[in-house]
């Protein structure tokens, strides 16, 4: 469940950051994987939409993204915001009438366009009115080719030159003399590989559901829309409602009807259940049950801690306390990606506030630390027998819910 991308800075004349070039990777090894270029482009765009995101990889700078002929014709650039990317047309792309039409549309909609590793040929001149940046590859371009390109673009002063694969100070000075505005290469910085958690479209939908249900007043129309857009989630919702837990015999005919019947509290629990199930790929079932049991226990114990009114927060804190184990990822990185208020994140990451104390209490039961439990209950004026009963209830509740989702 990991997504990898490499990024290399592109600098201005004064060596300040102008943009990053983003490159697909399939591991922490900083090499292009042995896959088709179309697949690499598609995977990178999917990753930017569902995982790392442009705001993580490029921060406040532009992102140069390589596009193949097929990805351009298929309109992939339009999936990304025009003010965040530079559409970099790979050197393997041929200048066709169809490609020219795409470039015109990109320009009309406000996108920046760059030609990668450019070697001059007359057909590309038709593209110059729509091109913003031409990249000059210092590893393959001769002095004569440099001059040919500079002569060809003289009538297009808005086209900026970017020197790439610059590896020495001499090449950097040469690029400055040529009139290059931007610079990229090992002389400045090698690409760094960044790893993130990889979210599937269904997981993203579950995150959206969790964000909506975590609001003071969830928008039921929006919740219904998310379920209706994901057939697998709709199926699980209907099947869950028809489970023996609710002792219902009457058939449910619509998603909205199912949502209304469950009510906000039970729907929130169901979304949490979906979250656990979706993010526990290839993990023991017991780990999912433990997450749910923690959630239910924290919810049930809020009255003993005089935390009335925060039951839903306590439930979420318990549920997400094992999320790093479920997806094998850093807890800080995960919390950055989830739509939770800072108090919940602090409770999970830093074990801060009374809700976090509930987690510690639950862990003592899981570890059967009876002496510590007795001491803890005495110090916090909690009835140990009652708390033990609630822990068992929580385990049964979690097991029953997981079975209902199968």
pLDDT of 94: 92
Phi, psi (rounded to 5 degrees) for 308: -55, 140
Q: What is the dihedral of CA 261, 265, 268, 273, to 10 degrees?
A: -90
From the list 145, 144, 190, the residue with the least C-alpha distance to 165 is 190
**Residue 300 predicted with pLDDT over 80:** yes
Whether 116 and 90 have beta carbons less than 8 Å apart is answered as yes
The number of angstroms, rounded, from the C-alpha of 252 to the middle of its chain's C-alpha atoms is 34
Work out the pLDDT band at 132, boundaries 50, 70, 90.
Answer: very high
3-class DSSP assignment, residue 241: helix
Mean pLDDT throughout 126-131?
Answer: 95
Separation of alpha carbons 296 and 314, rounded Å: 8
3-class DSSP assignment, residue 20: strand
Spell 237-250 as b/e; 16+ CB within 10 A means b: bbebbbeeeeeeee
Largest CA distance in the chain: 87
Mean pLDDT throughout 50-71?
Answer: 72
pLDDT of 247: 67
**Helical segments of 179-284, H only:** 201-213, 220-229, 231-241, 255-278
Work out the pLDDT band at 27, boundaries 50, 70, 90.
Answer: very low
Tokens of 223: 């919740």
What DSSP designation does 27 have? Answer: S
pLDDT of 76: 85
**Residue 58 predicted with pLDDT over 70:** no
Mean pLDDT throughout 19-35?
Answer: 55
Mean pLDDT throughout 294-319?
Answer: 76
Per the DSSP assignment, residues forming a β-bridge with 6 are 23, 193
Mean pLDDT throughout 294-304?
Answer: 83
**Residue 354 predicted with pLDDT over 80:** no
**Residue 240 predicted with pLDDT over 70:** yes
Per the DSSP assignment, residues forming a β-bridge with 3 are 196
Tokens of 190: 């090698």
DSSP string of 291-354?
HHHHHHHHHHGGGTTT-TT-HHHHHHHHHHTTHHHHHTS-HHHHHHHS---HHHHHHHHT--SH
From the list 45, 113, 111, 114, the residue with the least C-alpha distance to 82 is 111
Q: Name residues whose C-beta falls within 8 Å of residue 348's C-beta, 6 or more positions apart in sequence.
A: 317, 320, 321, 323, 331, 335, 356
158 sits in which H/E element = none
Q: What is the pTM of this model?
A: 0.52
* Better pLDDT: 395 or 247: 395
- Mean pLDDT is lowest, of 96-100, 123-127, 158-162, 359-363, for 359-363
Tokens of 391: 């822990």
Mean pLDDT throughout 349-375?
Answer: 81
**Residue 171 predicted with pLDDT over 90:** no
Separation of alpha carbons 72 and 67, rounded Å: 6
Separation of alpha carbons 88 and 164, rounded Å: 13
Domains of the chain: 2-197 (3.20.20.450), 200-278 (no CATH), 279-406 (no CATH)
Q: Name residues whose C-beta falls within 8 Å of residue 399's C-beta, 6 or more positions apart in sequence.
A: 289
Separation of alpha carbons 158 and 164, rounded Å: 19
7 sits in which H/E element = strand 2-11
Average pLDDT, whole number, for the chain?
Answer: 80
**Residue 53 predicted with pLDDT over 70:** no
**Residue 33 predicted with pLDDT over 50:** no
From the list 203, 247, 256, 207, the residue with the least C-alpha distance to 228 is 256
Whether 134 and 156 have beta carbons less than 8 Å apart is answered as no
């Amino acid at each position: 469940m990991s997504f990898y991308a490499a990024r290399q800075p592109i600098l201005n004349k004064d060596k300040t950051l102008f943009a990053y070039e983003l490159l697909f990777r399939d591991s922490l090894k900083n090499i292009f994987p042995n896959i088709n270029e179309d697949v690499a482009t598609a995977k990178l765009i999917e990753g930017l939409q569902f995982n790392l995101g442009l705001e993580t990889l490029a921060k406040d700078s532009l992102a140069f993204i390589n596009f193949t002929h097929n990805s351009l014709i298929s309109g992939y650039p339009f999936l990304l915001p025009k003010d965040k990317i530079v559409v970099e047309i790979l050197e393997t792309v041929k200048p066709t009438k169809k490609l020219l039409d795409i470039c015109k549309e990109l320009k009309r909609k406000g996108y920046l366009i760059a030609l990668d590793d450019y070697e001059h040929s007359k057909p590309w001149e038709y593209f110059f009115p729509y091109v913003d940046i031409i990249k000059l590859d210092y590893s393959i371009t001769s002095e004569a080719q440099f001059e040919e390109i500079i002569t060809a673009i003289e009538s297009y002063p808005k086209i900026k030159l970017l020197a790439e694969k610059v590896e020495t100070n001499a090449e950097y000075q040469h690029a400055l003399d040529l009139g290059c505005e931007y610079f990229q290469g090992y002389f400045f910085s090698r690409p760094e590989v960044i790893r993130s958690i990889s979210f599937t479209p269904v997981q993203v939908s579950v995150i959206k559901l969790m964000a909506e249900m975590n609001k003071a007043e969830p928008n039921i129309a929006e919740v219904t829309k998310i379920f209706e857009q994901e057939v697998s989630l709709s199926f699980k919702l209907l099947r869950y409602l028809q489970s023996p837990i609710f002792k219902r015999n009457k058939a449910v005919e619509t998603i909205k009807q199912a949502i209304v019947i469950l009510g906000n509290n039970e729907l929130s629990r169901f979304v949490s259940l979906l979250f656990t199930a979706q993010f526990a790929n290839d993990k023991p079932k017991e780990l999912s049950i433990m997450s749910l049991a923690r959630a239910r226990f924290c919810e049930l114990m809020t009255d003993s801690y005089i935390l009335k009114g925060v039951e839903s927060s306590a439930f979420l804190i318990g549920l997400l306390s094992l999320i790093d184990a479920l997806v094998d990822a850093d807890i800080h990185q995960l919390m950055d990606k989830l739509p939770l208020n800072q108090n919940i994140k602090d409770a999970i990451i830093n074990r801060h506030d009374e809700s976090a104390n509930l987690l510690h209490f639950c862990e003592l039961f899981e570890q059967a630390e009876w002496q510590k439990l007795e001491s803890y209950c005495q110090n916090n004026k909690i009835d140990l027998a009652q708390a033990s009963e609630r822990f068992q209830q929580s385990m049964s509740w979690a097991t029953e819910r997981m079975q209902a989702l199968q």
